[in-house]
Amino acid sequence: MEVLRTIDALRAQRADWTSRGETVALVPTMGAIHQGHMALVEHAKTLSDRVIATIFINPTQFAPGGDFDAYPRTEDADTKRLASAGADALFAPELSEIYPPGFATNISVSGVSDGLCGGHRPGHFDGVATVVSKLLLQATPDTALFGEKDYQQLQVIRRVVTDLDIPVRIIGVPTVREADGLAMSSRNAYLTDEERRIAPALYQTLTKIADDLKQGAAVEELLEKGTRSLTEAGFRSVDYLELRDANSLAILTKYTGPARLLAAAWLGKARLIDNIEV
Ligand code: AMP
């Protein structure tokens, strides 16, 4: 697997594959590679001749005082994992390659960015939309893959690609979970042993609410009960627990059709997010 550090090297690699008639898929990540990321690469392999994974810890999507400095940086282990999953190239640029002096552009997506993580992390999705747009324009992949684990992010990216006419097919990949249901995440590394035992309650709560919704129970009551059960299980606080339209992310007060149940909650130093289809 080639490790590319510059946009020029990335474009040269892409041009070489294009000249051979090969298709390319892009899998953007922030590193600390786990089986969730590897599933994206493996899925990408089934769709394209070549797969480019990227590792870039994007400072503009972290809040001031957030966990940018603490975010795990494990490039050697990541490189091996991405290669074993079938990536053909890794694009891992320096900060200055992505944000050279004078950089001044911001892509802001309204609507799907509002509320949920967008409400609790101001500016987060601007950072995501801007850096993902840059990566898509740098690599010009045929396909780009993103996890449903970050469901709002996936909808923001679909929106920006549509609105800016970026010629790429966006594919969402189902969340990969630990055996006890906890969604795999680089931030799970922040959990103590005790918190790790509590963490699956997030997925269990979502599953229970989804079952009750399908039985016809009232949305508001279920969400209140679910929030209580998370704090009783040991979560420090719940940022949100909401039922939304699966595509527009509009708030739903009644369960009638395809919906998504999404939650974010704090467990010790970790902010865990998860979501499921209803
Ligand atoms: P991250 O490195 O956390 O920014 O994630 C990079 C990509 O991997 C994003 O598209 C995430 O949605 C996706 N991803 C992260 N965790 C998982 C998971 N457990 N299952 C599936 N995809 C995931």
Q: Is the dihedral of CA 104, 107, 110, 113 positive or negative?
A: negative
To the nearest whole number, what is the mean pLDDT of the chain?
97
pLDDT at residue 257, rounded to an integer: 85
Q: What is the mean pLDDT of residues 13-36?
A: 98
Yes or no: say if 1 and 47 are a contact pair by the CB < 8 Å rule. Answer: no
- pLDDT, tens only, 59-85: 999 999 999 999 999 999 999 999 999
37 is catalytic: yes
pLDDT at residue 158, rounded to an integer: 98
Tell me the best of 40, 41, 262 to mutate to test the pocket of ligand 1, counting ligand atoms within 8 Å of each CB and taking the most.
40
Tell me the best of 37, 184, 277 to mutate to test the pocket of ligand 1, counting ligand atoms within 8 Å of each CB and taking the most.
37
How far is the centre of ligand 1, averaged over its atoms, from the C-alpha of 259 (Å)?
21
Nearest to 52 by CA among 3, 108, 99, 16: 3
Q: What is the mean pLDDT of residues 256-271?
A: 96
pLDDT at residue 211, rounded to an integer: 97
d(CA 148, CA 151): 5
The protein residue whose alpha carbon is closest to atom 14 in ligand 1 is: 147
| Angle subtended by helix axes 7-19 and 124-139, to nearest 10 | 50
Atom number of ligand 1 nearest to Cα 174: 21
Whether the model pTM is above 0.95? yes
- pLDDT, tens only, 198-235: 999 999 999 999 999 999 999 999 999 999 999 999 99
